[in-house]
């Protein structure tokens, strides 16, 4: 499998090189030259396959032999060694809980898979690898945990100062060793711009081997397909009434940088049944507006309760356009979108807890509301939304609902560790000096 740049001004590369480079030199994103299709053999015993085997068969065509099968299966097994329950909330709406991993967020999957791929590929390299990642919340903690103490790898995390929750900040600033956390005096888009600038800096790359752990990296993005398959297996065996005429779920994904929903759509194109995808955003509504008007109009990011989605320029949307060959009408057939205000988000959190006893985080609340509205306007369908992080990771949950619910033991331990971070301005030269100091 070869990967080309979405800007089409850089050479195509294999999975190994795409993982190590992170981003093409022309500042595009790597995208597979062909999208594989799942065979009948995959589906014939789908219900009985172990999760690691499903992951292996889904990802193997994208890796295309650049990791031997035994090692790839081991990487998959380590990546998905926790639960991904699909929990019914109403007769028509279920939640796919993706917060049962080490850092209580869906990004544990991509970070685990990528860290193990990079460790495998780094054995062949003599120089140290520096992984740079911008985070609006959960990515930083997942990457820090996934790469912690990996030999030959330094991790530099950029996060917007004062714009992540206390638990999120502790998860990315309390490890130390090979993890460096940078508090950037700006927003997530500033962090993402700094990371992209570093990855495209030819002068820097002569001195530092730099790669990215954001979802722009194919090894972070592609494994997010896995849990859509786990959801579908539960959908057909536990959630969906076999007497119902509804067969394929509507899938609603809280969306910020659009890597997660892009992975779900990719899984659908490979053969995963799905009726519709909904991109649920907060008031950072560039993509909902694009789907409504056909025009991409950028505007500054706005801070919201669902802070991980406070993204004005979603990098991965270009990959969604590639999936649909930039055909706007074809895209609209499969993808809907909705923008949800903070007031509606908070009201949804309270209402769902009071009526159904289910505690939503602000991102899940955006997803629940968008899915509920879609189903009201399209009767006779049902679906699930992604609950992407544990409610305890967001300070607003207790303020709005009055409880964090059952707090995992791992959270308490975070408060006993000292914070380790470096404050910087959104200035590339300042970042570059820090990166050069890692050599």
Looking only at the bridges linking them, the beta strands covering 153-160 and 179-184 are parallel
Do the Cβ atoms of 312 and 191 come closer than 8 Å? no
User: Is 163 among the catalytic positions?
Assistant: no
**Rounded distance between C-alpha atoms, residue 154 and residue 148, angstroms:** 9
CB 12 within 8 A of CB 328: no
Which residue is catalytic, options 27, 107, 196, 205? 107
CA 286 vs. chain centroid, Å, equals 18
**Paired sense of beta strands 93-97 and 383-387, if any:** parallel
290, 315 contact by CB (below 8 A): no
Whether the CA torsion 142, 261, 32, 56 is positive or negative: it is: positive
Cα angle 203, 205, 207; round to 5 = 85
Residues with a known catalytic role? 107
């Amino acid at each position: 499998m070869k990967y080309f740049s979405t800007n089409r001004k850089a050479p195509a590369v294999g999975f190994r090189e795409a993982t190590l480079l992170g981003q093409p030199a022309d500042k595009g994103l790597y995208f597979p030259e062909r999208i594989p299709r799942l065979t009948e053999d995959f589906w014939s015993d789908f219900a009985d396959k172990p999760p690691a085997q499903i992951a292996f068969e889904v990802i193997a065509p994208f890796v295309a032999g650049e990791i031997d099968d035994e090692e790839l299966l081991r990487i998959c097994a380590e990546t998905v060694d926790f639960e991904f329950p699909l929990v019914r909330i109403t007769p028509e709406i279920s939640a796919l809980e993706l917060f049962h991993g080490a850092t209580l967020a869906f990004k544990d999957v991509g970070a685990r898979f990528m860290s193990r791929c990079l460790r495998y590929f780094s054995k062949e390299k003599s120089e140290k690898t520096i992984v740079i990642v911008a985070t609006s919340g959960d990515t930083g903690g997942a990457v820090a945990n996934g790469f912690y103490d990996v030999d030959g790898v330094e991790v530099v995390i950029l996060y917007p100062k004062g714009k992540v929750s206390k638990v999120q900040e502790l998860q990315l600033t309390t490890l130390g060793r090979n993890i460096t956390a940078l508090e950037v005096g700006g927003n997530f888009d500033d962090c993402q711009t700094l990371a992209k600038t570093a990855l495209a800096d030819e002068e820097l790359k002569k001195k530092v081997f730099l790669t990215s752990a954001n979802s722009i990296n194919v090894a972070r993005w592609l494994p997010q397909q896995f849990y859509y398959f786990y959801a579908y297996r539960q959908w057909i065996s536990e959630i969906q009434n076999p007497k119902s005429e509804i067969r394929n779920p509507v899938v609603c994904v809280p969306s910020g940088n659009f890597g997660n929903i892009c992975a779900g759509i990719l899984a659908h194109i490979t053969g995963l049944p799905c009726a519709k995808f909904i991109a649920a955003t907060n008031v950072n509504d560039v993509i909902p507006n694009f789907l409504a008007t056909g025009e991409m109009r950028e505007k500054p990011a706005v801070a919201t309760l669902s802070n991980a989605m406070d993204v004005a320029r979603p990098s991965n949307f270009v990959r969604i356009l590639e999936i649909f060959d930039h055909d706007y009408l074809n895209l609209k057939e499969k993808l809907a979108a909705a923008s949800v205000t903070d007031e509606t988000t908070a009201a949804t959190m309270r209402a769902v807890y009071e009526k159904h006893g289910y505690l939503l985080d602000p991102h899940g609340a955006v997803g629940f509301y968008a899915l509920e509205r879609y189903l009201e306007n399209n009767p006779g369908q049902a679906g699930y939304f992604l609950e992407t992080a544990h409610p305890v990771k967001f300070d607003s949950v207790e303020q709005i609902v009055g409880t964090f619910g059952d707090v995992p033991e791992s959270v308490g331990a975070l408060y006993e560790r000292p914070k380790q971070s470096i404050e910087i301005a959104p200035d590339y030269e300042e970042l570059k000096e820090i990166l050069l100091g890692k050599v």
